[in-house]
């Protein structure tokens, strides 16, 4: 809605862009985008369209999420984590609760789930775009964090251990594992014949889908637990964020136009969904102004040369 309102505002003012803009509004993003985004890509390819950059819903202006960060920071997403939906299933002979075996299918599966939770995926901080995020933000921290983040060639393991302590930042350093559904049994005095659990994994850009599946098999370590990949995809390539990156620099300029007091840095945090998710009216107004500014800032053929302090002498 913010995009459309910004566009209407521009057109109402008589704005005529010099370059083409594509606005893609999918109806099924939360269930994979197979009928929305996928068809948009197909149409653009058929038309031979070469986009300068793609801007999705993006990340947030973080304030208070990262311990020690002084003031708000606008994180520009360079990639998104991959995803895997995995089902664990155990089947045993049914029976009566008065004659239980030593282990039921529920007990076997619960033990497997406990092993997954007690043995998280490896810490990978420094192998993805998250390192660049904290290098950009280093000056916004006090000592000793400023010193640590300015020397990540040495202190990446230390910062990784600090970040994994909180759920809000643990996702930056590894593939996360979340057991989201557990189903078994139909009656309190009947031994169930099967139990299943569903696990949602968000895959770190430095790890492949196959590596994640191999790690799950190794951690579960029980042939009685059948492991099935329901769906999944790899993390997409990491976008550039250097001085010559048209998309990153234009977005950065627009963020600073609308929010002049924030620090801008590349990032790859997960999107956050919560109970009663909402935004304020003021925040919605900022959305409109952001896209209003972004379209105009993009309406150039190439980036201006970056300012340099080097002179001819």
Per-residue model confidence as pLDDT tens for the chain (313 residues): 999 999 999 999 999 999 999 999 999 988 888 899 999 999 999 999 999 999 987 788 877 767 788 888 888 989 999 999 999 999 999 999 999 999 999 999 999 999 999 999 999 999 988 888 888 888 888 888 889 989 999 999 999 998 999 888 899 999 999 999 999 999 999 999 999 999 999 999 999 999 999 999 999 999 999 999 999 999 999 999 999 999 999 999 999 999 998 888 776 644 456 677 778 899 899 999 999 999 999 999 888 776 544 444 4
pLDDT of residue 272: 54
pLDDT of residue 62: 78
Say whether both 118 and 224 belong to one domain: yes
C-alpha–C-alpha distance, residues 292 and 281, integer Å:
17
pTM of model > 0.75: yes
Say whether both 108 and 166 belong to one domain: yes
C-alpha–C-alpha distance, residues 77 and 269, integer Å:
7
Say whether both 87 and 228 belong to one domain: yes
Cα–Cα separations (whole angstroms), residue 107 to 110, 158, 189, 201: 5, 37, 16, 23
Beta pairing, strands 263-267 & 73-77: parallel
Say whether both 195 and 131 belong to one domain: yes
Say whether both 31 and 99 belong to one domain: no
C-alpha–C-alpha distance, residues 86 and 245, integer Å:
36
pLDDT of residue 251: 94
202 HSE (CA, 13 A, CB side): 16
Final residue of a structural domain among 233, 252, 281: 233
Strand ranges (DSSP E) for 94-139? 95-96
pLDDT of residue 271: 42
Work out the burial of residue 27: count CB atoms within 10 Å of its CB; fewer than 13 is exposed, 13-18 middle, 19 or more buried: exposed
58 located within any domain? no
77 located within any domain? no
pLDDT of residue 275: 73
189 located within any domain? yes
H or E element, residue 197 = strand 194-203
Structural domain range at position 229 = 82-233
Count how many domains the chain has. Answer: 2
> Residue 156: which of 133, 177, 178 has the closest Cα?
133
């Amino acid at each position: 809605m913010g995009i459309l309102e910004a566009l209407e505002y521009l057109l109402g003012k008589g704005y005529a862009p010099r370059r083409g803009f594509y606005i893609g509004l999918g109806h099924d993003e939360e269930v994979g985008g197979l009928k929305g985004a996928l068809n948009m890509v197909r149409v653009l390819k058929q038309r031979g369209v070469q986009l300068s950059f793609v801007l999705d819903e993006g990340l947030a202006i973080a304030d208070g999420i990262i311990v020690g960060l002084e003031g708000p920071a606008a994180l520009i997403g360079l990639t998104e984590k991959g995803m895997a939906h995995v089902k664990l299933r155990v089947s045993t002979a049914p029976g009566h609760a008065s004659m239980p075996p030593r282990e039921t299918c529920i007990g076997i599966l619960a033990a497997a789930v406990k092993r997954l939770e007690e043995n998280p995926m490896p810490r990978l901080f420094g192998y993805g775009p998250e390192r660049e995020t904290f290098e950009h933000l280093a000056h916004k921290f006090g000592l000793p964090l400023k010193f640590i983040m300015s020397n990540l060639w040495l202190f990446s393991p230390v910062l990784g251990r600090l970040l994994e302590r909180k759920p809000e930042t643990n996702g930056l350093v590894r593939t996360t594992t979340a057991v989201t559904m557990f189903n078994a049994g139909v009656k309190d005095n009947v031994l169930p014949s099967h139990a299943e659990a569903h696990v949602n994994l968000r895959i770190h850009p430095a790890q492949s889908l196959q590596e994640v599946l191999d790690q799950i098999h190794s951690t579960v370590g029980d042939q009685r637990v059948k492991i099935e990949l329901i769906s999944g995809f790899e993390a997409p390539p990491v976008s550039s964020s250097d001085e010559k990156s048209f998309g990153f620099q234009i977005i950065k300029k627009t963020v600073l136009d609308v929010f002049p007091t924030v620090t801008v840095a590349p990032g790859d945090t997960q999107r956050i969904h919560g109970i009663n998710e909402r935004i304020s009216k003021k925040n919605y107004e900022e959305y409109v102004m952001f896209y209003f500014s972004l379209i105009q800032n993009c309406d150039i053929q190439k980036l201006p040369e970056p300012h340099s302090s080097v002179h001819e002498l």
